[in-house]
Amino acid sequence: MASIATTCSSGLILRRKESTTNAGSMLQFNGLRAIESNQITASSGFNPSWSASTSASKSRPIKAMASAPKRETDPKKRVVITGMGVVSVFGNDVDTFYDKLLEGQSGITLIDRFDSSTFTTRFAGQIRDFSSVGYIDGKNDRRLDDCWRYCLVAGKKALEDANLGPEILKSMDKTKIGVLVGSGMGGLSAFSTGVESLIQKGFKKISPFFIPYSITNMGSALLAIDTGLMGPNYSISTACATANYCFFSAANHIRRGDADIMVAGGTEAAINATGVGGFIACRALSQRNDEPHRASRPWDQNRDGFVIGEGSGVLIMESLEHATKRGANILGEYLGGGITCDAHHMTDPRKDGLGVSSCITKCLEDAGVSPEEVNYVNCHATSTLAGDLAEVNAIKKVFKDTSEIKMNGTKSMIGHGLGAAGGLEAIACIKAINTGWLHPTINQDNLEPLVDIDTVPNVKKQHEVNVAISNSFGFGGHNSVVAFAPFKP
């Protein structure tokens, strides 16, 4: 079987070894080692002109096979999306965020938050001109780590979008509304500042907020404190797979009856000297300092690593029964999810690729969806040598015919938001469902010849989404996949 690498937990190779390929083999990567493995047969119906196409084309309707599994019908267990909130390099408005993605605009710029002049990577998807006015009081705003500021703003905006503002919440059973917003790194700036104070001035100079603002559960806690939500409340930290794990667990709380509504997603703010320096030490980041806006290039032959990003993406997940009773505006439906672990190595992937392909399969089983129904994949696609090809191979293992599937890489424009990535990409999926347009994967200049699925290169495409899946993978071999679809009563 082809070797598959989890996209965030691998791809630490910045050099490609030359190899000869033929119809039966292709170069693959296993952690820091290059290996030869069998090539997955190209899907039928591939049109090579996709890689250069700039015209918008509407997809043909996808019909499920007669053997398709049955989806959930119980309105108490059906989970719908009733609100979305975002903090991103393109601002804090969901529509603006997606419009910029559709335009193919890059949000990657040179870092000016700290002095990176001696760093081998000096650019990122850095958020500028962030405002929390109206969402966080001034005193707390000055104290909080950006990770929690982003979480509070995105979470409260999602509640507003779902018509769950403070006045409405007063009349609701708050013990049935939970919060599950995770982070891969937590309050990294608060942690770094605390350690610096300890080393330079001694323990007596450590801020009393050092521990509370560093630990990864604080986003969910602070959001609940501010809104009074008393349902299930915790965080999940599975590196770059975090947000999808949160969606999966939040949906299961609703299906079990623990909650009627869950505020779920991911948040991250690791663009500081510690975060950027740490990923440089991993040899994971692109070093295209002369062209930051062209550095994140999933599936392009000249990719050289991922671009670190930041932000927060939060969904309001609600039982269909509850949403219907309160007359909520339903944006889409969460069908199901899957989580697996490679159980192999801290950074190296399993050689047989079982973790990734089985995660997609588990997601479809949980969703009650046949592979033939899926026609859009928002890929993890971080722009690493190993991970990008590996994810495509995993997709091909599950979807035998990819001729109707389109896939894209949101990170090509906003960078890799780590624990927030799945939240930002879930919003992109829901907006694709609602608008009928897929954003492009930019910087597709020299597409890998073995990537024979439409990557929506450089220009947006019209596409009627039947079922979308969103992939997220992380350090430790954590794999997570979630499925969304248009809501149909």
- The active-site residue, picked from 322, 344, 380, 463, is 380
Distance in Å from the first CA to the final CA of the chain = 41
Q: Is 379 exposed, middle or buried (0-12, 13-18, 19+ CB in 10 A)?
A: buried
d(CA 349, CA 343): 9
Please give the torsion angle defined by the CA atoms of residues 29, 243, 103 and 304, in that order, rounded to the nearest 10 degrees.
Answer: -20
478 is catalytic: no
Backbone φ and ψ for 173, nearest 5 degrees, come out as -80, 100
DSSP track, 119-144: SS--EEB---S---TTTS-HHHHHHS
416 is catalytic: yes
Q: 436: which residues sit within 8 A by CB, 6+ positions away?
A: 58, 462, 463, 464, 465
Structure tokens given for 168: 């409405």
CA proximity to 230, closest of 177, 162, 169, 159? 177
Looking up tokens 């300890």 gives 198
Bridge partners, residue 473, by sequence: 479
- The active-site residue, picked from 416, 439, 463, 478, is 416
Query: Three-state DSSP class for 248?
Result: helix
H helices of 399-438, where? 411-414, 421-435
Query: Three-state DSSP class for 376?
Result: strand
Q: Is 16 exposed, middle or buried (0-12, 13-18, 19+ CB in 10 A)?
A: middle
Contact in structure between 272 and 113 (CB atoms under 8 Å) = yes
Structure tokens given for 202: 């001694």
d(CA 280, CA 49): 37
Query: Three-state DSSP class for 123?
Result: strand
Q: Are strands 376-378 and 406-408 parallel, antiparallel or unpaired?
A: parallel
Contact in structure between 38 and 12 (CB atoms under 8 Å) = no
- The active-site residue, picked from 8, 147, 151, 240, is 240
Structure tokens given for 283: 């040899």
Q: 449: which residues sit within 8 A by CB, 6+ positions away?
A: none
Amino acid residing at 43: S
* Helix, strand and coil percent figures for the chain, each rounded to 5: 35, 20, 45
d(CA 346, CA 342): 9
Active site residues: 240, 380, 416
